[in-house]
Amino acid sequence: GVHTFTLINRSGKVTYVKFHWRPTCGEKNLLEDEAIRVGGENHSHATQDLYETIAAGNFPEWKLYIQTMDPADEDKFDFDPLDTTKTWPEDILPLQPVGRLVLNKNVDNFFTENEQLAFYPAHVVPGIYFSNDKMLQARTFAYADTHRYRLGVNYLQLPVNAPKCPHTNNHRDGAMTMIHRDEEIDYFPSRFDPVREAERHPIPTAIISGRREKQIIPKENNFKEPGDRYRSWDPARQERFVGRFVKALSDPRLTYEICSIWETYLSQADKSLGMKVASRLNVRPTM
């Protein structure tokens, strides 16, 4: 995942965490010519393959890994660990296996079980909480608002979104409600219908002193990771990458200035990459 959450133990100790799903069967990709041919014959080839694989009993499996970081080490890196565009180095923060996911059943009704799904980053279990990840904080608000617009205010009553265990809240009626509740009290607290509060779990606390400002992330370091990724590829893959960039930047609507800007970006990631693209576009290298 791109987001940084926090883990909190019973004593309240906080640890940054990233979650990762990795397929146990490995990865296989289509080259451009293959993608054109396969996609032209069946635009839903990946969906069909997944459906037929599950139906045949060859259940696909993913392993769940976590990376953890002590918040005290947040400023020791040359990038912001809470920046969603960055990956944490696995040689420093290794992947730790914690679970697995197996798809062992196809949906019975694609609309009710798939199209009405409402994933929400703010739905976390005790022991998992949020961080100051800017994008995550925005999504914890925006997703529920989007679901209410798309599925209605009672989207959590849809079977695919409803909790499997008994739950108690004060939500009643509203548009497209699907359940009848016998309780007459829809507020809290109440002497007419006293309830027992759920067990409280610790959440991260922090004392912050200073001026709060809205500004860009100071430690961007935007070109190191792309350069490392490019240099990790074999020559054939590097050549395909260069070819795609040259094709995209050969659009007649793009000016020389725009092509030069892109060449600058590519050169900051890897000098040889920028030179290859510049030579094919007849753009003067900047680095």
Is residue 45 situated within a structural domain?
no
Structure tokens at 108: 């019975």
Q: State the CB neighbour count (10 A cutoff) for residue 283.
A: 19
Condensed to tens digits (0 to 9), the pLDDT of residues 33-78 reads 999 999 999 999 999 999 999 999 999 999 999 999 999 999 999 8
Condensed to tens digits (0 to 9), the pLDDT of residues 116-125 reads 999 999 999 9
Q: Are residues 138 and 265 in the same domain?
A: no
Is residue 112 situated within a structural domain?
yes
| CA 230 vs CA 15, 92, 176: distances in Å | 31, 20, 51
Q: State the CB neighbour count (10 A cutoff) for residue 126.
A: 13
- Give φ, ψ of 8 to 5 degrees: -125, 120
For residue 93, give its domain range: 5-25+60-157
Overall number of domains in the chain: 2
DSSP structural state of residue 19: E
Is residue 95 situated within a structural domain?
yes
Q: Are residues 11 and 110 in the same domain?
A: yes
Is residue 171 situated within a structural domain?
no
Q: What letter represents residue 16's amino acid?
A: Y
Q: What is the pLDDT along the chain (287 residues), one digit of tens a residue?
A: 899 999 999 888 999 999 999 999 988 899 989 999 999 999 999 999 999 999 999 999 999 999 999 999 999 998 999 999 999 999 999 999 999 999 999 999 999 999 999 999 999 999 999 999 999 999 999 999 999 999 999 999 899 998 888 776 777 778 888 777 776 677 778 887 777 777 777 777 776 777 877 777 777 788 999 999 999 999 999 999 999 999 999 999 999 999 999 999 999 999 999 999 999 998 877 66
Residue 285 DSSP SS3: coil
Is residue 197 situated within a structural domain?
no
- What pTM value is reported for the model? 0.83
Q: 68: domain CATH number? A: 2.40.180.10
